[in-house]
Copies of this chain bind each other. A is one copy, B any other.
Amino acid sequence: MTTYTAIKLAKRPSAKDIGPNLFEVAQLEKPSPAAGEFLIKQSYMSLDPAMLGWMSADTESYIPRVEIGEVMRSFGYAEVVESQHPDFAVGDKVTGMFGLTEYAISKGQGVNKVDANLPAEMVLSIFALPGLTATQGLYRVGKPKAGETLVVTGAAGSVGSIVGQLAKAEGLRVIGVAGGQEKCDWIVNELGFDGAIDYKADGIKENLEALTPDGIDVYFENTGGPIQHHVFERMNAHGRIAVCGMIADYLAETPAPGPNWMNLLRKRLTVQGFTMPDHFHETVELLEILTPHVKAGKIKYRAHILEGLESAMTGLNLFFSGENKGKLIVKL
Chain B residues with Cβ below 8 Å from A228 are: 261
Q: Could you say which of A259, A264, A274, A278 has the most chain B C-beta atoms within 10 Å of its C-beta?
A: A264
Chain B residues with Cβ below 8 Å from A259 are: 257-258
Q: Given A62-B237, A271-B271, check contact A244 B260 (CB 8 Å).
A: no
Query: In chain B, what residue has the closest Cβ to A228?
Result: B261
Q: Is A36 an interface residue (CB 8 A)?
A: no
B237-A261 in contact (CB<8A): no
Minimum distance in angstroms from A20 CB to a CB of chain B: 26
- As a 0/1 sequence over residues 212 to 246 of chain A, the CB contacts with chain B under 8 angstroms (1 = contact) are 00000000010010001000000001000001111
Q: How far does the alpha carbon of A259 sit from the alpha carbon of B266 in the complex, in Å? A: 17
Could you tell me which residues of chain A, from 265 to 302, have a CB within 8 Å of some CB in chain B? Answer: 265-275, 278
Chain B residues with Cβ below 8 Å from A246 are: 260-262, 265
Q: Given A62-B237, A237-B62, check contact A264 B260 (CB 8 Å).
A: no
Q: Is A307 an interface residue (CB 8 A)?
A: no
Chain A interfacial residues counted at CB < 8 A:
36
Query: In chain B, what residue has the closest Cβ to A255?
Result: B260
Q: Is A117 an interface residue (CB 8 A)?
A: no
A267-B261 in contact (CB<8A): no
Minimum distance in angstroms from A69 CB to a CB of chain B: 24
Query: In chain B, what residue has the closest Cβ to A268?
Result: B273
A270-B270 in contact (CB<8A): yes
The residue from B53, B243, B268 contacting A264, defined by CB atoms under 8 A apart: B243
A60-B267 in contact (CB<8A): yes
B273-A224 in contact (CB<8A): no
A262-B249 in contact (CB<8A): yes
Q: Could you say which of A256, A268, A269, A273 has the most chain B C-beta atoms within 10 Å of its C-beta?
A: A273
B267-A260 in contact (CB<8A): no
Beyond A221-B261, A268-B278, A270-B272, list 9 extra A-B contacts (CB 8 Å): A61-B266, A228-B261, A249-B260, A255-B260, A258-B258, A264-B272, A265-B273, A268-B274, A268-B275
